[in-house]
């Protein structure tokens, strides 16, 4: 099932998810470094990464929702997509909680801010795996004319014939 929202021939949701995942995971790593070396500058940097990760996550969610709506009802992909999406909303909410708890003291947040981040990161591992399941196992967001020798997504595509692996004769 091809993505409904593309940029330069590739699904926008799949392009955007690397930003919130990278930013939020880096924030957790920076918090761990701060704890290990005793430098609050890392925790302050994590605060800004979380803020950027929340914004990037919300943007990615819009495009993910558009693709999820297009998945046929009563399919495994629709159910997994729902769990993936709802789980990622919870991830973002956990990081929002961490961000707000850090707001007044980003270099020295309370323990609950770290707990929210760590729980969010653990849940993101599960929802990220579910996203991988959607793409690699169920083919959601994958070009219907996939082929090991498919032309570039930037080039002209002949849509009159099915891809070689999809021929029925």
Using one digit for the tens of pLDDT, what is the confidence trace for 41-56?
999 999 999 999 999 9
Mean pLDDT of 79-86: 95
Identify the pLDDT of residue 148.
73
CB atoms within 10 A of CB 56: 20
- Cβ(80)–Cβ(61) under 8 Å? no
Identify the pLDDT of residue 82.
95
* Averaged pLDDT score across all residues of the chain: 87
Alpha-carbon distance 45 to 19, whole Å?
16
**Structure tokens of 61?**
């969610």
Q: Please tell me the pTM assigned to this model.
A: 0.84
Instruction: Report the largest interatomic distance among the alpha carbons of the chain, rounded to a whole angstrom.
Output: 67
Mean pLDDT of 90-110: 96
Alpha-carbon distance 167 to 169, whole Å?
6
Identify the pLDDT of residue 12.
82
């Amino acid at each position: 099932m091809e993505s409904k929202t593309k940029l330069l021939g590739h699904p926008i949701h799949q392009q955007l998810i690397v930003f919130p995942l990278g930013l939020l995971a880096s924030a957790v790593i920076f918090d761990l470094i701060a704890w290990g070396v005793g430098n609050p500058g890392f925790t302050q940097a994590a605060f800004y990464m979380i803020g950027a990760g929340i914004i990037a996550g919300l943007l990615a969610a819009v495009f993910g929702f558009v693709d999820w709506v297009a998945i046929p009802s009563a399919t495994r992909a629709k159910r997994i997509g729902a769990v993936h999406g709802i789980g990622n909303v919870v991830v973002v909410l956990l990081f929002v909680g961490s961000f707000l708890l850090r707001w007044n003291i980003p270099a020295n947040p309370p323990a609950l801010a770290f707990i929210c981040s760590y729980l969010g990161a653990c849940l993101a591992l599960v929802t990220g795996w579910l996203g991988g399941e959607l793409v690699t196992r169920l083919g959601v967001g994958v070009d219907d004319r996939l082929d090991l020798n498919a032309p570039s997504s930037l080039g002209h595509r002949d849509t009159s014939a099915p891809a070689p692996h999809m021929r029925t004769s």
